[in-house]
Amino acid sequence: DPNEDTEWNDVLRAKGILPPKQKEAEISEDQIVSMIDEAIKKRTDAGGESRKDIGDMDLDELDELEDSEDEAVLEEYRRKRLAEMKIFADKARFGSVREISGQDYVEEVNKAGQDIWVVLHLYANGIPQCNLIHHYMNDLAVRFPQTKFLRSVATTCIPNFPEKNVPCIFIYYEGQMRKQFIGAVDLRGDKLTKDEFE
């Protein structure tokens, strides 16, 4: 979950690698009471003359009115929350690491779209740290399905890319490079842990 509170996620957010933490819409008891009172007022004001004035209602009638308004307010809150969840689910469209070629680079990275984070791993076959990073990226892609995780053989993606610079990770947001890690030194060599990579 990208909103999970971990020290590494906070570091990644501070560096602009992960999107800002989405805050859940919390609703207090006072807000619920206010919403119910407002709904009751609207209903009694809109009821016209056929509706009994709230001041003339006995306790049973008030309880019945409040119960029906509770249900209406909770149903409205439920509808809003489902709409928010649908928007989040629509953004969660990636979920795996995809292999790209040099021809795909512009389309997949630079033209990824609005509000899309892209993590590109340039690698070379036979380098253990590249395999380690690919393994970590597979886990992250599942945990952060709103982020596009890509990988490519460095020389296939960028002709004459120096092998000494792999592994290499480029991080883009809305087509603009935000961060790069070039070579084993930037990525702590074989000492890189999964927690650090996250």
Q: What is the pTM (predicted TM-score) of this model?
A: 0.54
Tokens for 193, please give them.
């842990």
Average pLDDT, the chain: 77
Residue 150, Cβ density class (10 Å: 0-12 exposed, 13-18 middle, ≥19 buried):
buried
* Of the candidates 104, 130, 125, the residue with the CA atom closest to the CA atom of residue 197: 130
The per-residue pLDDT for 51 is 56
The per-residue pLDDT for 150 is 94
pLDDT digits (tens, 9 = 90+) for 69-104: 777 777 788 888 887 777 766 665 788 899 998 888
The per-residue pLDDT for 1 is 46
Local structure of 76: helix, strand or coil = helix
Q: What is the mean predicted confidence (pLDDT) over 165-185? A: 87
Q: What is the mean predicted confidence (pLDDT) over 57-65? A: 74
The per-residue pLDDT for 43 is 64
Contact residues for 77 (Cβ-Cβ < 8 A; gap 6+)? 27
